């Protein structure tokens, strides 16, 4: 058989999918390894998708998306950063992951370097490698609250560095950048003439702290920040694959050409569903946010009682817990054994980078009783 491309063969498997698929194959397993909102999609969003099919609006749309949806995303992004965002700067994508791939396609050439967080979502590095670019990990250390430090990032810069990828609220950490830190990161990118690619997948869910977008500190027309948005988590639309990129002015014609070569346009029912989500009632978001906060508090109480260290999430819907006392230096293998012995799936910290060794990610988005049952089975530091 003819060989696959070498750069494809070297992309490592996603450990989150590895443990989750093993859990799905195990009857009665408690699955806390994947971030899948568990509430029914709001009816008015489903109605909008159905209506698109009923009127047979199933042809091509513009590459950048239907005009009303671009305007809705522009208003949404503008409200988040305190600026007026032109709809011409918005490009509708098939979810955040495609948005990240498209943005990196614009910004990176073969051999270029993109700075990605460690711990950070694994597809950041995977996407860069698929584009023949080089992911360079900047550290997020426990002793600094898993927040990036300017000096650590600057120490990694080379003449090949092109992009600084930011993720706040963070998956897997639940950490949220302050406004001061966000401003400093944008100023760093300006000093070194870097692009910023900001993944804001969990922007809707922060707890007692604001979400601050790097867009707030970029030029009025956009200078160096590209923002990736999605409705997957915000409205429970993971399967509809709908999101957007907010670009600096002038990049949309280039991205339109790139999009045409990949998928042409996003499916029209998903676009009209997204329009209904952004412009309709926001009860779902309020309910989901309250649920995630309550689940966080309840799970933290169990971890504290068991003496398991954790990072209290300020955003997203994950808990980052330190199981190093039990995992024996190989958290990936430990999670597979824990699933087999206790029927609970959690994501190994090494799925998100080397600094995640000994840590696990616990998804908070499901049923509370099931969450607490799963967390209660975790071994405390004194367990044999």
Query: What CATH number corresponds to the domain at position 183?
Result: 3.40.640.10
Q: Same structural domain for residues 275 and 287?
A: no
Determine contact, residues 80/213, Cβ cutoff 8 Å. yes
Q: Is residue 382 one of the residues assigned to a domain?
A: no
Q: Is 227 helix (H, G, I), strand (E, B) or coil?
A: strand
| Containing structural domain, residue 340 | 6-41+283-376
Q: Same structural domain for residues 21 and 85?
A: no
Q: What is the pLDDT of residue 132?
A: 95
Determine contact, residues 349/356, Cβ cutoff 8 Å. yes
Of the residues 279, 298, 331, which one is the last residue of a structural domain?
279
Q: Is 123 helix (H, G, I), strand (E, B) or coil?
A: helix
Of the residues 246, 264, 279, which one is the last residue of a structural domain?
279
Q: What is the pLDDT of residue 9?
A: 81
Residue pointed to by tokens 């058989």: 1
Return d(Cα 237, Cα 278) in angstroms, integer.
12
Q: Same structural domain for residues 18 and 154?
A: no
What one-character-per-residue DSSP string does 43-73 give? HHHHHHHHHHHHTT--S---TT--HHHHHHH
Q: Is residue 126 one of the residues assigned to a domain?
A: yes
What are the 10-residue block averages of pLDDT along the chain, 384 residues in total?
83 87 95 92 97 96 97 96 95 96 96 98 95 97 96 98 98 97 98 98 96 95 95 94 96 93 95 98 97 98 97 96 96 97 97 97 96 97 70
Determine contact, residues 210/179, Cβ cutoff 8 Å. yes
Q: What is the pLDDT of residue 270?
A: 98
Return d(Cα 318, Cα 139) in angstroms, integer.
19
Q: Same structural domain for residues 186 and 309?
A: no
Q: Same structural domain for residues 164 and 70?
A: yes
Q: Same structural domain for residues 144 and 27?
A: no
Q: What is the pLDDT of residue 3?
A: 84
Of the residues 279, 311, 330, which one is the last residue of a structural domain?
279
Q: What is the pLDDT of residue 176?
A: 98
Q: Is residue 227 one of the residues assigned to a domain?
A: yes
Note if the pTM is more than 0.85: yes
Q: What is the pLDDT of residue 269?
A: 97
Q: Same structural domain for residues 162 and 242?
A: yes
Total domains in the chain come to 2
Q: What is the pLDDT of residue 337?
A: 97
CA nearest to 244, candidates 93, 104, 124: 93
Q: What is the pLDDT of residue 255?
A: 94
Q: Which residues contact 179 (CB under 8 A, 6 or more apart)?
A: 210, 212, 216
Return d(Cα 310, Cα 12) in angstroms, integer.
27
């Amino acid at each position: 058989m003819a060989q696959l491309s070498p750069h494809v063969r070297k992309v490592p498997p996603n450990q989150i999918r590895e443990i989750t698929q093993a859990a799905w194959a195990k009857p009665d397993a408690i699955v806390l390894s994947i971030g899948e909102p568990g509430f029914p999609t709001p009816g008015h969003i489903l109605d909008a998708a159905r209506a698109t099919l009923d009127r047979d609006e199933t042809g091509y749309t513009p590459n950048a998306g239907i005009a009303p949806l671009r305007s809705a995303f522009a208003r949404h992004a503008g409200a988040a950063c305190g600026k007026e965002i032109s709809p011409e700067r918005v490009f509708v994508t098939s979810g955040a992951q495609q948005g990240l791939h498209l943005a990196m396609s614009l910004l990176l050439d073969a051999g270029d370097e993109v700075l990605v967080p460690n711990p950070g979502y694994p597809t950041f590095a995977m996407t860069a490698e698929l584009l023949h670019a080089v992911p360079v990990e900047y550290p997020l250390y426990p002793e600094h609250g898993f927040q990036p430090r300017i000096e650590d990032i600057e120490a990694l810069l080379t003449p090949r560095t092109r992009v600084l990828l930011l993720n706040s609220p963070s998956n897997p950490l639940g950490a949220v950048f302050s406004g001061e830190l966000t401003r400093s990161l944008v100023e760093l990118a300006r000093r070194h003439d870097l692009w910023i690619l900001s993944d804001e997948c969990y922007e809707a869910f922060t707890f007692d702290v604001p979400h601050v977008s790097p867009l707030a500190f970029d030029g009025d027309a956009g200078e160096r920040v590209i923002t990736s948005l999605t409705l997957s988590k915000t409205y429970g639309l993971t399967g509809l694959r709908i999101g957007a990129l907010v670009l600096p002015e002038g990049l949309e014609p280039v991205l339109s050409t790139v999009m045409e070569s990949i998928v042409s346009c996003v499916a029209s029912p998903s676009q009209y569903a997204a329009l209904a989500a952004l412009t309709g009632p926001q009860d779902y978001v309020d309910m989901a946010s309250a649920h995630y906060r309550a689940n966080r508090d309840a799970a933290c109480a169990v971890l504290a009682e068991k003496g398991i260290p954790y990072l209290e999430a300020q955003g997203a819907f994950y808990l980052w817990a330190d199981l190093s006392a039990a995992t024996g230096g190989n958290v990936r293998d430990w999670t597979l054994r824990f699933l087999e012995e206790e029927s609970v799936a959690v994501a190994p910290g090494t799925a998100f980078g080397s600094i995640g060794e000994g840590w696990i990610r616990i998804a908070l988005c499901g049923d509370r009783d099931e969450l607490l049952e799963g967390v209660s089975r975790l071994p405390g530091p004194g367990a044999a």
